[in-house]
A and B are shown apart, each in its own frame.
Chain A
């Protein structure tokens, strides 16, 4: 029982309160990034099967035109983010490490931002199945970072009975503010998308959860919710990782997703607010996802902001526009708690990339720290939102007892939120241990 709950704030147990650094960008309106001379469209920028290319080298494409199709059910198509000519399909560097195939697109000088390629459907007479197909056609995936094809969530397991749609507007990662801007500037799209998904899922209740450090967003949304729409907006405690779907479900509904299960097991489908706004914007017009909002922030850039970035833009190009300082030292894709630092600045912006945080070396968090043995201070235990025992798991992992950690200590319930490493006064790289332990367990199982 946390103090927050005593005062009837909607929240979950445990978690941490890192400094959020959101004031760097939360007040900055969305700005459009110009086209980079060449875009790199990774065929696999979503969870599931990589898209299958539809274009040949030398072929001209129009902004918004499909350039790759979905390769199966858990897959989505890709659309040309700019008008130009296909240079080729090659292996390129990715943020994850190994090289992967991508469509290289040379953008025409002075190409228009306007999207001409669209096919508005007749939304009135659509069945639920039609909506799913249409949604897959937009290429929309979870824009909060997971990049899981959204249309798949519209077909929950047979035995699941959904009663609530949750729109996740927590944005609990420090620095990131793109969802905040979307809730403020694209409120109508957000509500339209929410209503479409309620229809597609046949649920009559939608709850939009927003951390209570974004009161303006709560107000903006509340003022625009249509009467009797079943949509409500809720302020939840500002605490990391409030935006993890399991935590948000607990905060809003007091339900716990079973270990190893999906939110549908407790009657819930969770969508990120950015995803819903994209749905509300693109689906009625029959357009494809060609750009996304990326927060570029951190002390390493002189022009932080919330940029509307064409997919495939090289990170380097984005960095230059944001005014990367020469002392910039670490570039993190995503938020600083769960994002990964990139080795190569040539990797492209993908559908799942919600932010880019650029840190300088003098930033205290980058200083190497001495690692001490675990002193059993229990801070990690009290921080873990999954109520695991990272202290014990860490000690077992250090002893390479990887199977014990997995079988007896719920290793696979850890979602690598980073709270334990964040609080550990011994500076033990707990999350890193758990990643290794998971990888080794998976290998042994294979």
Chain B
């Protein structure tokens, strides 16, 4: 072979020339996959209303993202999959009978205000789904606390009456409907409210399997744990965050319960009720709005867990997860900046200098 035979075309690139294959869109896609069983179960428990709700929030988020990309001349970012997660999560945090038009507003505000205005994926300070949820909590305080019973007999055939209410009209009252369809006596309150105001407990097994009133996705703690474990095992979610949130919540509630078990809920109830499980596993762990530093991750999780319990026990609201996470999000840059990792070979030098 002569030297002239090799006419290679070479490409110039910089090191490293190897790349771990996992990319952002794959991670996001898997989070969506992990949310599907949770959503499916919500639909099973609450029927087509929940389905419609999830579809509407997801579509609203997708459309809002596209709209803002178009307005700000950025390439369309639907493909990274993050906005689909926002849509599904938002749907899961709303009451199943939430009027669809309000859900669409929540999606628009969440993605528009909570994400697009910051500059899109990676730049948002807070979890967009929770921003949307917080907005409608303030704007529609009645609708967002109107709960309907699980396992209504005709749930796959008829909508919950409030679902299809027209924009800007008072949604119809569902309490009568709820009484009719409820399998057991229905109080219209979530287990959290029952506990807080009437000190009535709820069967742990019901909490585990989700046979309770609540947001679409507040249902089965067990299913959420399984789906979260899938993500954690594939290293697509930081297991430390949910662990820190749940551990902190349990530890904070423990002394109160020991002091007065008739007034305060036991730690297991705290973990399994309300949106804590969904929030800890799928929302607090939102990488974008959590710190990157190893110690910061634990602190951030703990802050959320503690705040959740404090709001639940002493705040005017029955549920504190949402605000706890939003606060955690807001604190996360600060947490990150005070927990910068110790750089190799640096402290030693400082110690010497002192």
Interface residues of A (CB under 8 A from B): 16, 18-19, 174, 246, 250, 256-261, 316-317, 319-320, 324, 326, 328-332, 336-343, 345, 357, 359, 361, 364-366, 369-370, 372-378, 380-382, 385-389, 391-392, 410, 413, 416, 418-419, 421-423, 425-427, 429, 431-432, 435
Contact = CB atoms under 8 A, between A and B. Distances in A.
Given A257-B345, A425-B24, A329 B10 contact: yes
Given A341-B10, A376-B287, A376-B292, A365 B19 contact: yes
A22 to B, nearest CB: 13
Contact of B3 (A317, A366, A376, A388): A317
A259 B349 CA distance: 7
B158 to A, nearest CB: 41
B344 A256 contact: yes
Nearest to B351: A258
B344 A373 contact: no
Contacts of A328: 8, 10
B23 A376 contact: no
Contacts of A364: 21
Given A246-B345, A376-B292, A337 B122 contact: no
B127 to A, nearest CB: 12
A377 B27 contact: yes
10 contacts: A256-B348, A324-B8, A341-B11, A372-B23, A378-B287, A378-B294, A378-B297, A380-B292, A381-B293, A422-B20
Closest 3 CB pairs of A and B: A373-B122, A418-B16, A378-B292
Given A320-B3, A425-B27, A431 B9 contact: no
Interface string B308-346: 000000000000000000000000000010001111111
B184 interface: no
Nearest to A358: B8
B292 A330 contact: no
Contact of B17 (A316, A341, A376, A381): A341
Nearest to A19: B18
Contacts of A423: 20
Contacts of B5: 320
B14 interface: yes
A16 B17 CA distance: 14
B343 A378 contact: no
A375 B121 contact: yes
B10 A342 contact: yes
B15 A336 contact: yes
Query: Considering residues A18, A418, A425, which has the most beta carbons from chain B within 10 angstroms of its beta carbon?
Result: A425
A425 B341 contact: no
A92 to B, nearest CB: 16
A37 to B, nearest CB: 8
Nearest to A343: B12
A289 B270 CA distance: 72
B288 A375 contact: yes
B266 interface: no
Contacts of B27: 375, 377, 425
Interface in B68-83: 80, 82
A426 B23 contact: yes
Contacts of A330: 10-11, 13, 17
Contacts of A425: 20, 22-24, 26-27
Interface residues of B, number: 52
Contacts of A259: 343-346, 349
Contacts, number: 188
B259 interface: no
A312 B335 CA distance: 54
A391 B294 CA distance: 13
A387 to B, nearest CB: 4
A391 B333 CA distance: 13
B292 A341 contact: no
Q: Is the interface of A mostly helix, strand, loop or mixed?
A: loop
A332 B13 CA distance: 9
B120 interface: yes
Nearest to B77: A372
Given A375-B288, A389-B340, 17 more contacts: A250-B344, A256-B345, A259-B343, A259-B344, A329-B9, A359-B17, A366-B13, A372-B122, A382-B294, A386-B344, A388-B343, A413-B344, A418-B16, A418-B18, A425-B22, A425-B23, A427-B24
Contacts of B49: none
Interface string B1-43: 1010110111111111111111111110000000000000000
Contacts of A246: 344-345
A369 B341 CA distance: 29
A258 B24 contact: no
B9 A365 contact: no
B345 A345 contact: no
B290 interface: yes
Contact of B122 (A376, A387, A429): A376
B20 A16 contact: yes
Contacts of A340: 14-15
Given A373-B120, A425-B22, A425-B24, A345 B10 contact: yes
Contact of A324 (B6, B121, B238, B340): B6
Contacts of B345: 246, 256-259, 261, 386, 413
Contact of B15 (A374, A377, A427, A431): A431
B348 to A, nearest CB: 5
B132 to A, nearest CB: 19
B119 to A, nearest CB: 8
B297 A258 contact: no
B177 interface: no
A326 B24 CA distance: 33
A425 B24 CA distance: 5
A387 B10 contact: no
B257 interface: no
B292 A391 contact: yes
Nearest to A418: B16
A378 B339 CA distance: 13
B123 interface: yes
Given A377-B27, A387-B341, A435 B122 contact: no
Given A259-B344, A261-B345, A431 B292 contact: no
A410 B122 contact: no
A156 to B, nearest CB: 17
A250 B348 CA distance: 13
A378 B1 contact: no
Contact of A329 (B11, B15, B20, B341): B11
Nearest to A344: B10
A184 to B, nearest CB: 25
Contacts of A336: 15-18
B6 A320 contact: yes
A389 B11 CA distance: 30
